[in-house]
Structure 1
Amino acid sequence: MKMVFRWFGEGNDTVSLDQIRQIPGVEGIVWSLHDVPAGDEWPMDKIMEVKAQADKAGLHLKVVESVNVHEDIKLGLPSRDLYIDNYKKTIAKLAQVGVKVICYNFMPVFDWLRTDLHKELEDGSTALFYEKGRIDNIDPYELVKQINENSSLTMPGWEPERLQHLTKLFDAYQGVTEEHLWENLAYFLKEIVPVAAEHDIKIAIHPDDPPWPIFGLPRIITSRDNIRKMLAIVESPYNGVTLCSGSLGANPNNDIVAMIHEFKDRIPFAHIRNVRVYDNGDFIETSHRTQDGSVDITGIVQAYHDTGFEGFARPDHGRHLWGEKCRPGYGLYDRALGIMYLWGLWDAFSRQAERKEARA
């Protein structure tokens, strides 16, 4: 397991590269060009700027999250070929700076979805919260306003310049079914995967967050069966999944440990985080500790260890602790604590395996 840490760039993150490199075992950053609109080809000078920053801190930039997929690709419009061509050109450029994994998602309109960015937990910390009843009744336009208010930092998946066209986006998706979305994903993968393979870069789809339809929009990367279906579209080690325990874990029916064992050869990137799921469908993000949520983080880390996972992993969303002012879900303290918890589990399983081998 190779530990990495998401970083949003100079001037766009409250966490510095100097702080990241002091977290034990972290060897690289997970990055993106957040000011480049979805569908545009990434400029080489901006890529090299991030590389210089990472090199100076002694961190690699082998994982990109995300090269966003333009809505026209998801909608299957004739214009998609232009945006797919730009995606291919971006892949070639990223290979030049040593990128090995590109995370992306295929969620219509919205990326992750929450109703409260700072819901207070019992200990006084705050975290991202999803209230099912509110989502069932809220106007999506009001939610967009709420997500972006009082934020001087970019909110991935909630870019105002894109969501200001929300009415047009919803109109465009009228009549688009899950079947249509699968067809459009297949078209994209069959175009992209050969190019990614040529450049030795694995592309890894992120599950839908949360893993069910919202506001009448279809979502397809939601379960073990659907991940299996996606991987079968292009049978290649370069067509993979970013297995996110938090996204999938919002649905208690998802057996993430079983997924790790089944898809072990197709998981180049892992997001590890915990959520507490309530009977009414609400969920809140918690510390990474297994006992604090509903997701079997201990079992997940053991599954990665026992399957010989050599991919990249990062602690996903963390709580907001000790008065830290940060991008919601992306502070320093709780994610650093999460890393140490994950390493503790990993080291314990390694020691256990060593003792078992010594006795054999």
Structure 2
Amino acid sequence: MSMIQSWRWYGPNDDVTLSDIEQAGAYGVVHALHHIPVGQVWTVLEIEERQKFIEWDASKGVPRNLKWIVVESLNVHESIKKGLADRDELIDNYKESLRNLAACGIQVVCYNFMPVLDWTRTDLNFNYKDGSKALRFDSVALAAFDIFILKRQGAVDDYDSDIKEKAKLYFKKLSAKECDTLAKNILQGVPGSGSVLTLDEFRSYLKLYEGITKEKLRENLKYFLQQIIPVAQELNIKLCCHPDDPPHSIFGLPRIVSTEEDLNYLVESVKSPSNGITFCTGSLGPNPENDLPGIVNRLGEYIHFVHLRNIQREESGSFHEADHLDGSVDMYKVMRALVKECDKRKENGRSDYRIPFRPDHGHQMLDDLNKKIKFHGYSAIGRLRGLAELRGLEEGIRRNN
């Protein structure tokens, strides 16, 4: 029995339709109620309305072969991450949203604990070697933005002399328009929100994190889990934290879900079958010290959801998103470890032995190159290719066992 082939969908305004997802051969829909502000309760009515939209083809009057199986993401409010006075009220809202999701039969909930920004890239239209467009993180470009455009206090002390010199030269070559594009690429904010932070907004958010160290952020994560996980376990919900992307500190902000040691801290903070990991190869992969197949072997029992994406590491921490089966991540070894974990769960009688996975991101290619893509990394054809390759890889491994 294969893993559950899934697809991220951003809602009725997504360029990729539910019919497209059906044709791609996916079954599980990965979705969130992006129109509800972070911190507010997701009501049963809102959830049921979106479920019906996803799972029922109103134009034909027949059910779709799709099911909303993963929430990505039920976002954690910044006040919870910072440990502010209103966090208990916001945590209560989070609990209520979990209860409402469980009442509607949705049992896997992804979240992240990244301060201010979600995944961060400096180039959303990188020219890949085959002519397609990819996402790229350039450590020099990030430093140039941080030091010379954002002008963050203390930024100059966060980079070594080589990066600073390269960033200075890089910035000198940028036009005003290129500076604006770089800023917009970096300040995309939360995926699905459609919002881009201004420089002043970003500066104000960074100021609110002054004094919050990695240790303090870890304490705040543990507090959140101590309040949330007992409720999730009672509801039989699998809560799974997404790793940091990129897997290291940026803009002086602490990052606490970047390494295997961080993942161990996460699952050990509150021991529960409901406290787990979103295993994302594209987020953990840029750090060459992260042994991805080994992480699956050692922490596989805590993996509730999987993102499969490849990256090609470059110099000085830079990387770009490669084809799903071609890059610095050995996707064969990762998939083999995941298949082994699924089989072990089945043998042990676990009901969640079919782990949902989705092809994470995808190149803008073929006819999609002629379109204005609303959600970068989430065009249809690149993910269709990725899903087909990953589906074939899993099938080949299973047949060869």
Alpha-carbon distance, 1:349 to partner: 1.2
Q: Determine if contact 2:34/2:193 at 8 Å carries over to the other structure.
A: no
Alpha-carbon distance, 1:58 to partner: 2.8
Q: 1:290-349 deviations in whole A, cap 9, x for unaligned?
A: xx2111111111111122252111110111001413221001111111111111111111
Distance 1:312 1:54 in 2: 17
Distance 2:182 2:72 in 1: 22
- Identify which of 244, 247, 253 aligns with 1:208: 244
State whether structure 2 residue 277 is matched by structure 1 residue 241. yes
Distance 1:137 1:278 in 2: 17
Distance 1:123 1:19, change over 3 A: same
Distance 2:108 2:117 in 1: 23
- Between Structure 1 and Structure 2, whose CA radius of gyration is higher? 2
TM-score w.r.t. length of structure 1: 0.92
Residue 5 of structure 2: aligned partner: 3
Task: State how 1:9-48 maps to structure 2 within 5 Å.
Answer: 9-11=11-13, 13-24=14-25, 26-48=26-48
State whether structure 2 residue 127 is matched by structure 1 residue 120. yes
Alpha-carbon distance, 1:38 to partner: 1.2
Aligned length: 347
- The root-mean-square deviation of aligned C-alpha atoms, in Å, is 2.1
Structure 2 segments unaligned to the other structure (5+ residues): 57-63, 151-179, 343-352
Residue 358 of structure 1: aligned partner: none
Distance 1:86 1:197 in 2: 17
State whether structure 2 residue 344 is matched by structure 1 residue 337. no
Q: Determine if contact 2:276/2:304 at 8 Å carries over to the other structure.
A: yes
TM-score w.r.t. length of structure 2: 0.82
Q: Determine if contact 1:34/1:154 at 8 Å carries over to the other structure.
A: no
Secondary structure of the equivalent of 1:348? helix
Distance 2:186 2:378 in 1: 15
Identical-residue share of aligned pairs (%): 39
Question: Amino acid of the residue matched to residue 333 of structure 2?
Answer: G
- Identify which of 306, 309, 327 aligns with 2:340: 306
Q: Determine if contact 2:184/2:196 at 8 Å carries over to the other structure.
A: no
Alpha-carbon distance, 1:172 to partner: 1.0
Alpha-carbon distance, 1:147 to partner: 2.8
Q: Determine if contact 1:223/1:254 at 8 Å carries over to the other structure.
A: yes
Distance 1:328 1:348 in 2: 30
Alpha-carbon distance, 1:160 to partner: 3.9
Q: 1:134-182 deviations in whole A, cap 9, x for unaligned?
A: 1112147567851389x9x984477347987323311110111000000
Q: Determine if contact 1:148/1:155 at 8 Å carries over to the other structure.
A: no
Question: Amino acid of the residue matched to residue 307 of structure 1?
Answer: E
Task: State how 1:140-179 maps to structure 2 within 5 Å.
Answer: 145-147=183-185, 155-156=191-192, 159-160=195-196, 165-179=201-215
Distance 2:95 2:199 in 1: 25
Alpha-carbon distance, 1:48 to partner: 1.7
Distance 2:380 2:288 in 1: 28
Distance 2:182 2:115 in 1: 15
Question: Amino acid of the residue matched to residue 21 of structure 1?
Answer: E
Distance 1:97 1:4 in 2: 19
Which is further off, 65-74 or 163-172?
A: 163-172
Residue 364 of structure 2: aligned partner: 320
Alpha-carbon distance, 1:53 to partner: 1.2
Question: Amino acid of the residue matched to residue 316 of structure 1?
Answer: D
Distance 1:284 1:127 in 2: 7
State whether structure 2 residue 106 is matched by structure 1 residue 99. yes
Q: Determine if contact 2:232/2:274 at 8 Å carries over to the other structure.
A: yes
Q: Determine if contact 1:119/1:128 at 8 Å carries over to the other structure.
A: yes
Alpha-carbon distance, 1:91 to partner: 0.3
Distance 2:394 2:272 in 1: 28
Residue 396 of structure 2: aligned partner: 348
State whether structure 2 residue 259 is matched by structure 1 residue 223. yes
Question: Amino acid of the residue matched to residue 232 of structure 1?
Answer: E
Q: Determine if contact 1:61/1:98 at 8 Å carries over to the other structure.
A: no
Residue 299 of structure 2: aligned partner: 263
Distance 1:257 1:341 in 2: 18
Residue 182 of structure 1: aligned partner: 218
- Identify which of 82, 91, 96 aligns with 2:89: 82
